[in-house]
Amino acid sequence: MKQAVLTGAHYLTGDEACAEGALAAGCRFFGGYPITPATEVAERISERLPEVGGTFIQMEDEIAAMASILGASCAGVKSMTATSGPGFSLMMENIGLGIVTETPCVVVNVQRAGPSTGLPTMGAQADMMQAKWGSHGDYEIIALAPSSPQEIFYQTITAFNLSETYRLPVLIMTDEIVGHMSEKVVIPDAKEIKTVSRITPKGKKDNFKPFKPGPNGIAPMPAAGDGYKVHFTGLTHDEKGYPVMTVEAQAMMMAQLMNKIRNNLDKIIMTERYRLDDAEIAIISYGVSSRTSLAAVDEARQMGIRAGLLRLITVWPFPDDQIRRLANQVKGFITVEINLGQIHYEVQRCAGYRVPAYLVGHPGGTIISPDEVIKVLKEAF
């Protein structure tokens, strides 16, 4: 068997680095369906998985791909799929099944411009609200936004660790630009990579409750074949997993699904601050647009404007508190993202209209240039 962790320096695209990150995290099942610009994740991992004892299958559509990774995860195997806008739309119902059955898995969305078929080969960041609200009903989700091939490698590992810790599908919301760019990716020694696996139950197998939270707020999860005779359903259920069609059962289940995330925001939310300490203007950005923003901050500083950047590594759950605190410090916010206002409105909500919040957006198909950020910066402040 070949190595799962390709220690060393490589020249990889974001998509390829994502596949390598998955393998390093312990992913051993991938159910996919080709779609530009995410296809290369599947291509890379289709070659690599059988080398390390895993299984790749190209399913008949994205609905099936999503269903297959849930099935694989319920068999105890870390699993992933990768897609782009149209496929992400098709996966939504089964992402909901993953949420309600608390089944860990990782879903990668290499975003392209939409709506509909849109610009298949050209990037955007316009599925950010779909990531939060795309499946029906109320829920909390975790979504990460890598900005480089190196980062997508690490964030894919983090995504698996979060999904295994909190028992839910975790989304990697990257974009065509990061997915298709080639950069140096350093893969560390396997011993230096921290991986997390779900807590499995020990002890009595009779009348086991697969949805009863343990001391850490998360229920231990047995795999099919472990002898616990579990029942998982998309229906509202009790701790035993049995359907219960009552208002009370709905409230209890929803509290568990929401609170396991809301009670752990400090552990889940990751951001990066750049020249923010004395900033008068806070730029909020994520993914490829945070690279634009980084350049814009330096340029603004050279012009004597005290700008700083808060880069969102975790986009969902949203860092409400950090933005609220910044609202007491800065004169205003600028959100930079390749859409016509998605995270921008979250920033505005958290700023509470105490200070103005502006959008540097784009309908999609290309990156935003630092000049566009500078222009808004000068006009607004």
Partner 1 sequence: MPEPSKKISKSPVHPLDDLLRTDRIPHIWCSGCGTGTAFSSCLTAIKASGLELDNVVMISGIGCSGRAAGYVKLDSYHTTHGRAIPFATGMKLANPKLNVIVFSGDGDLFAIGGNHFIHAARRNVDLTVICVNNLNYGMTGGQVAATTPFQAKTSTTTTGNPEAPFNLPLLAYASGATYIARWTILHTRDLTNSIIEALNKKGFSFIEVLSPCPVNYGRRNKEKSLDTLKLYQEKGIIKNNANPADTDIDFEKGIILGKFIDIERATCIENYDKTCRLV
Under the rule (CB under 8 A), what is the footprint of partner 1? 1-2, 28-29, 31, 50-51, 55-57, 59-61, 63-65, 67-77, 79, 93-94, 96-97, 101, 223-235, 242-243
Q: Least Å distance between CB 150 and partner 1? A: 28
Q: Concatenate the DSSP letters of all residues of 176-205 into one string.
A: HHHHH-EEEEEE--GGG----------S--
Q: Least Å distance between CB 379 and partner 1? A: 49
Q: Least Å distance between CB 127 and partner 1? A: 21
Using DSSP, state whether 96 is helix, strand or coil: helix
Measured from the CB atom, is 179 or 222 closer to partner 1?
A: 222
Measured from the CB atom, is 103 or 289 closer to partner 1?
A: 103
Measured from the CB atom, is 224 or 340 closer to partner 1?
A: 224
Measured from the CB atom, is 60 or 371 closer to partner 1?
A: 60
Asked if residue 126 lies in contact with residue 114, where contact means CB atoms within 8 angstroms, the answer is: yes
Measured from the CB atom, is 195 or 329 closer to partner 1?
A: 195
Rounded Cα–Cα distance for residues 94 and 135 (Å): 8
Q: At which residue do the structure tokens 């269903």 appear?
A: 67
Rounded Cα–Cα distance for residues 74 and 46 (Å): 21
Measured from the CB atom, is 183 or 239 closer to partner 1?
A: 239
Question: Structure tokens of 190?
Answer: 């396997």
Q: Least Å distance between CB 94 and partner 1? A: 6
Q: Least Å distance between CB 11 and partner 1? A: 24
Asked if residue 213 lies in contact with residue 256, where contact means CB atoms within 8 angstroms, the answer is: yes
Of 150, 148, 154, give the one whose Cα is nearest residue 174. Answer: 148
Of 345, 329, 300, give the one whose Cα is nearest residue 128. Answer: 345
Measured from the CB atom, is 184 or 205 closer to partner 1?
A: 205
Measured from the CB atom, is 89 or 329 closer to partner 1?
A: 89
Q: Least Å distance between CB 72 and partner 1? A: 4
Q: Least Å distance between CB 88 and partner 1? A: 16
Q: Least Å distance between CB 10 and partner 1? A: 20
Of 78, 83, 26, give the one whose Cα is nearest residue 52. Answer: 26
Rounded Cα–Cα distance for residues 281 and 343 (Å): 17
Of 215, 217, 333, give the one whose Cα is nearest residue 285. Answer: 333
Q: Least Å distance between CB 134 and partner 1? A: 15
Rounded Cα–Cα distance for residues 62 and 84 (Å): 10
Rounded Cα–Cα distance for residues 45 and 15 (Å): 10
Measured from the CB atom, is 28 or 260 closer to partner 1?
A: 28
Using DSSP, state whether 292 is helix, strand or coil: helix
Q: Least Å distance between CB 224 and partner 1? A: 4
Rounded Cα–Cα distance for residues 332 and 354 (Å): 9
Query: How is residue 223 annotated by DSSP?
Result: P
Half-sphere exposure of 206 (CA within 13 A, CB side): 0
Measured from the CB atom, is 160 or 228 closer to partner 1?
A: 228
Return the sign of the alpha-carbon dihedral for residues 232, 233, 234, 235: negative
